[in-house]
């Protein structure tokens, strides 16, 4: 696929996806979602990629749906939106299910579907000027991008209702306090902070990262007995794996582990 609305890059085992619609606030439309779903599938399967980073170009991460593009569909807007959201859903599911960490580097406004992409990331670093808002009901619409799934799990039901019904805009510090993002930094520190995180995780235990993601996401659907049994099986398997053996040996030898790539 020839990408025009995103820019994929691979550097040092890190798969980078730059949203490339800065003139439109990196807003979501069909072509954007087709390309994002496509590259997310490639990054998910590429074993050379150990970490994925999502970035917005310009002064926004993503302001959500491109309502102007949607309205241009006229009477076909409903089936058109159905296609947009199906591709959006595929991308988000790929980011959650991929057995490698996903980092979102948030440089500005996050709204609508942009909130879904932030929620789907495992680690979120945001500049202090970043702002987070749902914005759906303000336009007479309902949430998408898995926000109705993630938000109650991340910040609780009442706060999710506050964001969704009142369209309260959160500052970066508030988003961190609420548990929506991981850390904040200055505008000038975002690139360096994100790169350091990506490099550190790219050198880490990729299989363990992936299985840990699987454990945590599945915990909402399992009983205590089922979850602890799954934990027991996985940690037992990991101790015998090359990655687990290297981690244990490095700890005992008081050195930095060199996990297999």
Q: What is the pLDDT of residue 63?
A: 96
Q: What is the pLDDT of residue 82?
A: 96
Q: What is the pLDDT of residues 21-34, one digit of tens each?
A: 999 999 999 999 99
Residue 1 pLDDT greater than 90, yes or no: no
Residue 261 pLDDT greater than 90, yes or no: no
Q: What is the pLDDT of residue 81?
A: 94
Q: What is the pLDDT of residues 78-102, one digit of tens each?
A: 999 999 999 999 999 999 999 999 9
The mean of the pLDDT values for the chain is 95
Q: What is the pLDDT of residue 260?
A: 86
pLDDT band for position 132 (50/70/90)? very high
Residue 108 pLDDT greater than 90, yes or no: yes
Q: What is the pLDDT of residue 116?
A: 96
Task: Measure the CA–CA gap between 219 and 117, rounded to whole angstroms.
Answer: 21
């Amino acid at each position: 696929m020839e990408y025009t609305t995103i820019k994929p890059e691979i550097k040092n085992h890190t798969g980078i996806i730059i949203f490339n619609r800065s003139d439109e606030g990196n807003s979501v439309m069909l072509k954007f979602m087709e390309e994002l779903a496509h590259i997310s599938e490639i990054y998910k399967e590429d074993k050379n990629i150990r970490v994925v980073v999502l970035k917005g170009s310009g002064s926004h991460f993503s302001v959500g749906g491109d309502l102007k593009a949607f309205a241009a569909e006229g009477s076909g807007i409903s089936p058109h939106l159905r296609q947009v959201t199906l591709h959006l859903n595929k991308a988000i599911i790929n980011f959650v299910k991929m057995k490698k960490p996903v980092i979102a580097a948030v440089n500005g406004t996050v709204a609508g579907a942009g909130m879904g992409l932030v929620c789907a990331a495992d680690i979120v670093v945001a500049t202090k000027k970043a702002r987070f808002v749902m914005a759906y009901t303000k336009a007479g619409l309902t949430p998408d991008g898995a926000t109705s799934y993630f938000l109650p799990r991340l910040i609780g039901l009442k706060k999710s209702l506050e964001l969704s019904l009142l369209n309260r805009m959160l500052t970066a510090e508030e988003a961190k306090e609420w548990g929506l993002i991981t850390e904040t930094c200055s505008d000038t520190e975002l690139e360096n902070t994100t790169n350091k995180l990506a490099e550190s995780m790219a050198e880490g235990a990729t299989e363990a990262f992936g299985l840990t993601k699987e454990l945590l996401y599945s915990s909402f659907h399992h009983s205590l007995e089922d979850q602890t049994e799954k934990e027991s099986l996985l940690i037992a398997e990991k101790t015998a794996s090359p990655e687990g053996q290297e981690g244990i040996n490095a700890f005992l030898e008081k050195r930095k582990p060199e996990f297999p790539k």
